Amino acid sequence: MTTTGFALPPQYDPHAVEAALYRRWLERGAFTPGSAGRREPYVIVMPPPNITAILHMGQGLDNVIQDVLIRFERMRGRDALWLPGTDHAGIATQNVVERLVAKEGKTRFDLGREAFVERVWTFVRQTGSTILEQLKVIGASCDWSRTRFTFDPAYSRAVREVFVRLWEEGLIYRGHRVIHWCPRCLTALSDEEAESKDRDGKLYYIRYPVEGGPTPHLTVATTRPETLLGDTAVAVNPADARHAAFVGKLARLPIADIAIPIIADDAVDPAFGTGFVKVTPAHDATDFEIGLRHKLEMPLVMTEDGRMEHPTRVPKSLAGLDRFDARTKIVDMLKERGLLEKIEPHRHAVRRCYRCDTLVEPRLSDQWFVKMKPLAEPALAAYHRGEYRIVPERWKATYERWMEGIRDWNISRQLWWGHRIPVFTCTKCGEQWADREDPATCRKCGGPVEQDPDVLDTWFSSWLWPFATLGWPDVTPDLERFYPGHTLVSGPDIIFFWVARMVMSGYHFMGDRPFRTIYLHGIVRDTEHRKMSKSLGNGIDPLDVVERFGADALRWTVIGGGSLGADVILDPNDLEATFAPGRNFANKLWNIGRFILAQLPERVRPLESFEQSQLPLADRWILMRANDAVAAATTSMEQFRLDEGAKRCYEFVWGELADWYVEAVKPRLASDGAGSRAAAHSVLAHCFDTALRLLHPVVPFITEELWRKVPGRQPDELLAVAPWPSFRPELVNSELDLQFLRVKQVVEKIRGIRAEYKVPPKARLRASITARGRDHRKVFEAENETIRRLAQLDELSFDGAAKRVGAYAVFGDGSEVFVALEGAIDVQQECRRLSGELIRLDQQLSGLSGKLANQQFVARAPAEVVAKEREKERAWRDQRQVLADKLRSLGCS
């Protein structure tokens, strides 16, 4: 016997081991697959967090899931590549640095473009990969040697290549239209970046005087009165008889005092408001369309930062006013002139900038767009062909609908931090083209050229992530080996931003899917189901959790907290209740390890050297349960039911191995019976080893730490790359399971009686079992010692005197057993207890009998179900009989 086990402290201390273990993994290159090799690759690309990000719980969940999957596949013998990296995150990063600059009392314009970008680079280099370091703390087994950044020179080359190719294919064009504009970030946004949210607003009914109309006024309804300065028409639905007489007349625009036509257009919903709509083509997407159809003027009446401005339409009193101040003032002015009919409360959707939450202002402008239909169609067709799938499937409809109705993608941003758009224009001849290299002069006339000042949408670089990270456009060994990837793990919030676009770019540029499976997990929320966020202050800092409970506890909780695709609810106000179970489980595992390691000799005989059928019942049972855990863990992983696998392993370790097997085997460990003891060692070692392997993907630190302490382990061996256990169907044996179940039931009944009669723990007890029928008696006799130990009996006999006195229990389930404990009992109490049992049994029995008496059931239910129920009924009747006899013999009424 060694003393390894008891040399360990009785409590697991994550801090003592986590960092060192992570270092060992890195030193051994456990996370770095080669570019060549015979083993089948398995690839996950990490959704690159923003370069400025610090780890939050959502990313914690996302990355733990990825790590579990990658560790599982690695152990299964795949060449597992988890490729990490960061996103330069155009708007987000620029905003962060702008705030820094603002602290010095400056704006980015004070610094100038070049200096500002340099400033961002400095910032990025200083604080850049904080989040990647944090991922190491939670155990992420990424291949850090392949870390990428969307602004790396090589990556930037891929971005540029993509742009130029799309340009050459005619899929990029300059669009003049109303787009989403953030007046704070001073840039255009894509449709996805302008998040729509409902909010309570107001609907203003405003009178416009009409020249020569049926009435002196018409009334329009609007939520944005300030935009009336940009109105160039009033529209009605052509089918709206109420207002037909107005069409062709002129309305007088209040305040701006301009005559505008009254027109008819199908886009107008006659049921909304008054049926009259003010048309502001430069500040509303629908109105822009109307404007095009009717060849209306499209004056911009606001500056880029959202202040009112126009040489003729905006009066001096309003010029320069912020749009919301202007709204207030214009409403006042309208009131004064009697042109404000009423204001109604109105709930409607407003769009906000996804980076700064500012209300987006629709604005007519020139931007670069990508035609998306030609990209979406092949990707969607491939989806329908089943080339890649989405888990859980309920996202199918959402995905398909977006892909089917896809709109062109506005990719130009009026920012400085990002990939500069590689479009060049000759100032002399006007030639315009996209170029892979920066041209010195015009390719046509040799004149001077200017590059487009804008940068690309951040997502225009991240949608290339699955192949640009592998060296594309060059055909590198990595690209050939690791594309296409396998699983993409993400929250559903970026399904359009990123996931769908990656699929499109994958098919378009690589001719193949970027991954086979898209697993969309849930969102981390608090107990009120609010998304965890900094602004709400309901966040949980993952690093704080690691500090207090250990990385494995964090991982355990987020994995166990959500089933397939379900949200994970965590309580920020009770971290103890939330994370202690994970910590406690780790501690349990640790102590099982302490115990087992203390028992094992230097050399443990291989399990195969024992004739399995000769092993004691408990041994064969626990080996079977271990085998069952292997099956459950494996299929759960394959089906993304990580919680299920983890819970099954938990049950195996705690509920089966620790609670039953270890307790049952203790006497054998202390005995001199060499064979029995050696077998116990082998079984313990096998079960412990299996448990560690199965649990490693979820709780990698503690399992690695324990695994390396097992006798005979070579110093350079790592559990992280050890083989995943294989399921052995030949071990499945339900009869065996039943036999051990009977032992458990006997023990539990005796314990129950002990508690019920408040038998002092130290009191001496004897019990006697009478097994009726079958071979159960053999089982009980063989397990005499085990039962005695587990039920804390001094003596266990069979048949005989048991019926005379004592508390009493009957077993169902096909076996008929009774147990009696000797000692003083209260007959009254015993009668009450047993009658209670009888009543319960009768209830169950009558339900079951009724069911079996039902002709419909017997006729229509599957034969095996009926047979099973018959068998059960027979057993229960026997059980009832025995119980009733006992009651009679006690003289109960």
Partner RNA sequence: GGGCGAAUAGCUCAGCGGUUCAGAGCGCCUGCCUUACACGCAGGAUGUCGGGGGUUCGAAUCCCUCUUCGCCCACCA
Q: Is 627 in the site for RNA (CB under 7 A)?
A: no
- Nearer residue to RNA within complex by CB, 396 or 804: 396
- Nearer residue to RNA within complex by CB, 30 or 330: 330
- Nearer residue to RNA within complex by CB, 205 or 724: 205
Q: How far is the CB of 798 from RNA (least distance, A)?
A: 21
Q: How far is the CB of 298 from RNA (least distance, A)?
A: 15
Give me Rg for the CA atoms of the chain: 37
Cβ contacts of 450 within 8 Å, gap of 6 or more: 424, 425, 427
Q: How far is the CB of 405 from RNA (least distance, A)?
A: 7
Strands 233-236 and 258-264: parallel
The 323-362 contact track toward RNA, x by CB under 7 A, reads -----------------------xxxx-------------
Q: Is 865 in the site for RNA (CB under 7 A)?
A: yes
The 61-90 contact track toward RNA, x by CB under 7 A, reads ------------------------------
Q: Is 854 in the site for RNA (CB under 7 A)?
A: yes
Burial of 847 (0-12, 13-18, 19+ CB in 10 A): exposed
Q: How far is the CB of 315 from RNA (least distance, A)?
A: 21
CA angle 585, 589, 593 (to 5 degrees): 165
- Binding to RNA (CB under 7 A): which residues in 651-710? 654, 658-659, 662-663, 666
Encoded amino acid at 70, one letter: I
Helix (H/G/I), strand (E/B), else coil: 858: helix
Please, where are the H alpha helices in 76-226?
A: 90-103, 108-111, 113-127, 130-137, 153-168
- Nearer residue to RNA within complex by CB, 41 or 270: 270
Q: How far is the CB of 850 from RNA (least distance, A)?
A: 7
From the CB of residue 716, how many other CB atoms can be counted at a distance below 10 Å? 9
- Nearer residue to RNA within complex by CB, 447 or 565: 565
- Binding to RNA (CB under 7 A): which residues in 120-149? none
- Nearer residue to RNA within complex by CB, 69 or 233: 233
- Nearer residue to RNA within complex by CB, 147 or 358: 358
- Binding to RNA (CB under 7 A): which residues in 164-223? 191-192, 195-198, 203, 220-223
Residues 360, 178: contact at Cβ < 8 Å? no
Q: CA-to-CA distance for 166 and 508, rounded, in angstroms?
A: 10
Q: How far is the CB of 673 from RNA (least distance, A)?
A: 18
Strands 487-490 and 455-456: unpaired
Q: Is 839 in the site for RNA (CB under 7 A)?
A: no
- The pair phi, psi for residue 172, each rounded to 5°, is -110, 135
- Nearer residue to RNA within complex by CB, 609 or 856: 856
- Binding to RNA (CB under 7 A): which residues in 742-801? 748, 751-752, 754-756, 758, 761
Q: CA-to-CA distance for 774 and 743, rounded, in angstroms?
A: 15
* From candidates 59, 150, 505, 587, binder to RNA by CB under 7 A: 587
From the CB of residue 144, how many other CB atoms can be counted at a distance below 10 Å? 18
- The pair phi, psi for residue 524, each rounded to 5°, is -85, 125
Strands 432-434 and 258-264: unpaired
Q: How far is the CB of 661 from RNA (least distance, A)?
A: 9
Residue with tokens 């399990």, as numbered in its chain? 607
Residues 790, 747: contact at Cβ < 8 Å? yes
Q: Is 35 in the site for RNA (CB under 7 A)?
A: no
Q: How far is the CB of 264 from RNA (least distance, A)?
A: 12
- Binding to RNA (CB under 7 A): which residues in 548-577? 561-563, 566-567, 569, 571, 577
- Nearer residue to RNA within complex by CB, 726 or 854: 854
Strands 455-456 and 412-413: antiparallel
- Nearer residue to RNA within complex by CB, 5 or 422: 5
Q: Which of 568, 593, 566, 588 lies closest to 578 in space, CA to CA?
A: 568
Q: Is 639 in the site for RNA (CB under 7 A)?
A: no
- Binding to RNA (CB under 7 A): which residues in 263-302? 267-270, 272-273, 275, 277-278, 284-287
Q: Which of 94, 141, 100 lies closest to 113 in space, CA to CA?
A: 94
Q: How far is the CB of 860 from RNA (least distance, A)?
A: 4
* From candidates 812, 818, 821, 822, binder to RNA by CB under 7 A: 812
Q: How far is the CB of 880 from RNA (least distance, A)?
A: 13
Helix (H/G/I), strand (E/B), else coil: 605: coil
Q: Is 594 in the site for RNA (CB under 7 A)?
A: yes
- Nearer residue to RNA within complex by CB, 285 or 331: 285
Give yes or no for a cis peptide into 723 (omega within 30° of 0).
no
Q: Is 397 in the site for RNA (CB under 7 A)?
A: yes
Q: CA-to-CA distance for 291 and 278, rounded, in angstroms?
A: 11
- Nearer residue to RNA within complex by CB, 577 or 732: 577
Q: Is 580 in the site for RNA (CB under 7 A)?
A: yes
Q: Which of 589, 523, 531 lies closest to 561 in space, CA to CA?
A: 523
Q: Is 592 in the site for RNA (CB under 7 A)?
A: yes
Q: CA-to-CA distance for 425 and 448, rounded, in angstroms?
A: 8
Q: CA-to-CA distance for 824 and 163, rounded, in angstroms?
A: 90
- Binding to RNA (CB under 7 A): which residues in 224-253? 224, 237
Helix (H/G/I), strand (E/B), else coil: 863: helix
Q: How far is the CB of 52 from RNA (least distance, A)?
A: 22
Q: CA-to-CA distance for 336 and 317, rounded, in angstroms?
A: 15
Strands 524-525 and 517-520: unpaired
From the CB of residue 211, how many other CB atoms can be counted at a distance below 10 Å? 11
The 813-832 contact track toward RNA, x by CB under 7 A, reads x-------------------
- Nearer residue to RNA within complex by CB, 268 or 765: 268
CA angle 610, 616, 621 (to 5 degrees): 95
Strands 808-810 and 816-821: antiparallel
Residues 769, 798: contact at Cβ < 8 Å? yes
* From candidates 113, 335, 389, 394, binder to RNA by CB under 7 A: 394
Cβ contacts of 567 within 8 Å, gap of 6 or more: 522, 523, 524, 525, 529
Q: How far is the CB of 595 from RNA (least distance, A)?
A: 3
- Binding to RNA (CB under 7 A): which residues in 439-498? 492-493, 496
Q: How far is the CB of 24 from RNA (least distance, A)?
A: 24
From the CB of residue 741, how many other CB atoms can be counted at a distance below 10 Å? 15
- Nearer residue to RNA within complex by CB, 420 or 548: 548
Q: How far is the CB of 532 from RNA (least distance, A)?
A: 12
Q: Is 433 in the site for RNA (CB under 7 A)?
A: no
Residues 648, 632: contact at Cβ < 8 Å? yes
Return the range that interacts with RNA (CB under 7 A); candidates 92-100, 294-302, 433-441, 642-650.
642-650
Q: How far is the CB of 498 from RNA (least distance, A)?
A: 13
Residues 389, 198: contact at Cβ < 8 Å? no
Q: How far is the CB of 147 from RNA (least distance, A)?
A: 30
Q: CA-to-CA distance for 305 and 325, rounded, in angstroms?
A: 13
- Binding to RNA (CB under 7 A): which residues in 500-559? 525, 527, 529, 531
- Nearer residue to RNA within complex by CB, 385 or 529: 529
Q: CA-to-CA distance for 250 and 218, rounded, in angstroms?
A: 11
- Nearer residue to RNA within complex by CB, 312 or 846: 846
Number of residues that bind RNA (CB under 7 A): 102
Cβ contacts of 579 within 8 Å, gap of 6 or more: 545, 548, 549, 553, 554, 557
Q: How far is the CB of 191 from RNA (least distance, A)?
A: 5
